[in-house]
Chain A
């Protein structure tokens, strides 16, 4: 979770900087609180957890440029972590997953901006970390890769905003969106798991070199659903 906190903090810091400069070219800025889930096609996650649908929570910062109507450029971060127990408690597992993506929504505002059918694409970086503990010995590995997604959906705005409104409240909007699509990322290869108890180099205290431990791969790819709560501010 530490990694996730760092990413969120980084994104918020970037948002402040970008938000300040966005007033020059953006028509609207949005912040989306997003929950998503993927029905994986790979066996790794299912074996790890007994489940086949990892969920993730995240944030997406969006800017709607004034020069292209209906386009929302986004920077998002999402992630999850879980601790599990397998083999009747003989094996403890811990898994972390984060993605940072740049993306774009394109939608058409209907019914006085209350309904917005949209398509969404994204591309970015993914990170997975795995820890396996058995017989009081923990092995860990981290892998990095690429992530991408494509989805279509609908955004409903409950509270609409008005440009050039005098009050701050009138410039705010609030809505929810639901998208469905495909989420892809490169498989995380946990083929160089390292003992957390072994020194980097053999020493007098522990002269034993460890053999290679290949735990396999986890790929969180498949049909994805996302549910978001979107707050906006129109300049």
Chain B
């Protein structure tokens, strides 16, 4: 009976299939799991490449989680979030377009810009005024491309405008310099870095005047790879000169490219002059510090961390004078963070630099305002103060914003816990336990998750008091909602498993577990017509 029924069904189906006109989206045959997330101002967003859609997750009151799916262009490629978390940029490879998603509103809006080429590298402007698109040169699905080509997207107007420039070389990296004024004009520069040379782009210029090339001559090495560039804007004392300081991988010197207005009648708006500044022993990291000059003005200094020894060098960028000082750790420093800190016993704040090494429990706080370059050697405890941790920091997390009161040092090795450093008093306390896999901050509260643990810990950074709360499963990542109401925890699993907790009441009875989040509305996804 059953066999006979099946035969009848099959026969009927064969008759119908002869007229079929639909097939499922091939995305249904791809493994589950969108890319991401990117952290946006109002939530987090994933890219579902198979279905060519953004998946936007937002939390709300009562541990609510809402999911919005927004179509992209064809074959979405690289994506990046603007620094303010309000815009998401996405390359559509097949369409050769750029999608700009406004993710700041309750519903995602989209603007599409024609590019005419398949770029795969973004350079995002922290100011949100420009976006640079370039080619990495990696093998891709294209017939031919000019790897020196650069698309400059001007985001300052209502509609994005794209102009194409060709660089004199293929850029390994691009960076946008902060806005500045020279001769009363508002200016923006970008720097393209390549082996042995850099190119400076005047983003307000047009045509061939836009790009200027400059050689790197910091040492006699065959190949100089620029590793960092910092910008020294015009000051009150020298209103018509800005500088770029370029660090490379082999030199003891830093290349200074001074930028000044040219005389009338010349084709280029800016003239360039190149100098070398002594900056210690193989500097590994540099920063420009704008310090009080004492006369109401400011003076800019270049701080360079030595890559070979526990030293740093401070350079007066106007005179070229420099002085090198010891750091308290035993080996070379690996990183630094610049922050603003209140001065004890005085009104106002001063710029300070927190320096750390992965190999030493000693950190250093440099007070560059206290250092007079070339005339005085600072003593330990005055211009350079030490902070002794319980273990070497594997990673340093600064509180967001420049007026930071606290930093958190994560100790490597899996069992070493973390240290919270009070940047006002330079005191610290150690939280023992399994190494947190992620920690996020909201003012004086930190939220941490741990590698193999089904818990989230709320840390009061003022008191050092940790509180532990249960999760339904092991946590993979954690995010804070911008509404100050919720904590969003993602668990393992390709289908999207999330727990939403209320920040003020993180007990399970107030939270909610969401599963199959990436499968929401799946039966209603578009299908393809044959």
Q: Which residues of A contact B (CB under 8 A)?
A: 33-40, 43-44, 46-53, 55-58, 80, 86-88, 90-91, 132, 134-135, 137, 139, 190, 193, 195, 202, 206-211, 213-218, 223-229
* With known contacts A87-B29, A207-B509, A208-B511, A50–B24 Cβ distance under 8 A: yes
Number of B residues with CB within 8 Å of any CB on chain A: 56
* With known contacts A53-B17, A217-B523, A227–B8 Cβ distance under 8 A: yes
Among A87, A208, A228, A229, the one with the most B-chain Cβ atoms within 10 Å of its Cβ is A87
- Asked if B522 is at the interface of the complex by the 8 Å CB criterion, the answer is yes
* With known contacts A46-B527, A88-B29, A90-B32, A214–B521 Cβ distance under 8 A: yes
- Asked if B11 is at the interface of the complex by the 8 Å CB criterion, the answer is yes
A86 contacts across to B, CB distance below 8 A? 28-29
Secondary structure at chain B's binding surface: helix, strand, loop or mixed? mixed
* With known contacts A87-B29, A90-B494, A225–B522 Cβ distance under 8 A: no
Instruction: Please name the residue on chain A nearest to B518 by beta carbon.
Output: A134
A225 contacts across to B, CB distance below 8 A? 12, 15-16
Decide if B495 touches A90 in the complex (CB within 8 Å). Answer: yes
Decide if B472 touches A208 in the complex (CB within 8 Å). Answer: yes
Please give the distance in Å from A32's CB to the nearest CB on chain B. 10
Decide if B525 touches A37 in the complex (CB within 8 Å). Answer: no
- Asked if B25 is at the interface of the complex by the 8 Å CB criterion, the answer is yes
Give the residue of B19, B493, B497, B525 whose beta carbon is less than 8 angstroms from that of A47. B525
Decide if A134 touches B493 in the complex (CB within 8 Å). Answer: yes
Please give the distance in Å from A228's CB to the nearest CB on chain B. 7
C-alpha spacing A228/B526, complex, angstroms: 34
- Asked if B295 is at the interface of the complex by the 8 Å CB criterion, the answer is no
Decide if B20 touches A88 in the complex (CB within 8 Å). Answer: no
Secondary structure at chain A's binding surface: helix, strand, loop or mixed? strand
C-alpha spacing A50/B525, complex, angstroms: 12
Please give the distance in Å from B66's CB to the nearest CB on chain A. 10
19 extra interface residue pairs, beta carbon distance < 8 Å, beyond A50-B23, A52-B23, A57-B5? A33-B5, A37-B12, A37-B13, A46-B23, A55-B10, A87-B32, A134-B494, A135-B493, A139-B516, A202-B508, A202-B509, A208-B499, A209-B511, A210-B514, A223-B19, A225-B16, A227-B8, A227-B11, A227-B12
C-alpha spacing A171/B227, complex, angstroms: 97
Decide if B16 touches A53 in the complex (CB within 8 Å). Answer: yes
- Asked if B238 is at the interface of the complex by the 8 Å CB criterion, the answer is no
- Asked if B221 is at the interface of the complex by the 8 Å CB criterion, the answer is no
Please give the distance in Å from B400's CB to the nearest CB on chain A. 29
- Asked if B515 is at the interface of the complex by the 8 Å CB criterion, the answer is yes
Give residues 478-505 of B contacting A (CB, 8 Å). 492-495, 497, 499-500
A91 contacts across to B, CB distance below 8 A? 32, 495, 519
Decide if A134 touches B16 in the complex (CB within 8 Å). Answer: no
Please give the distance in Å from A30's CB to the nearest CB on chain B. 15
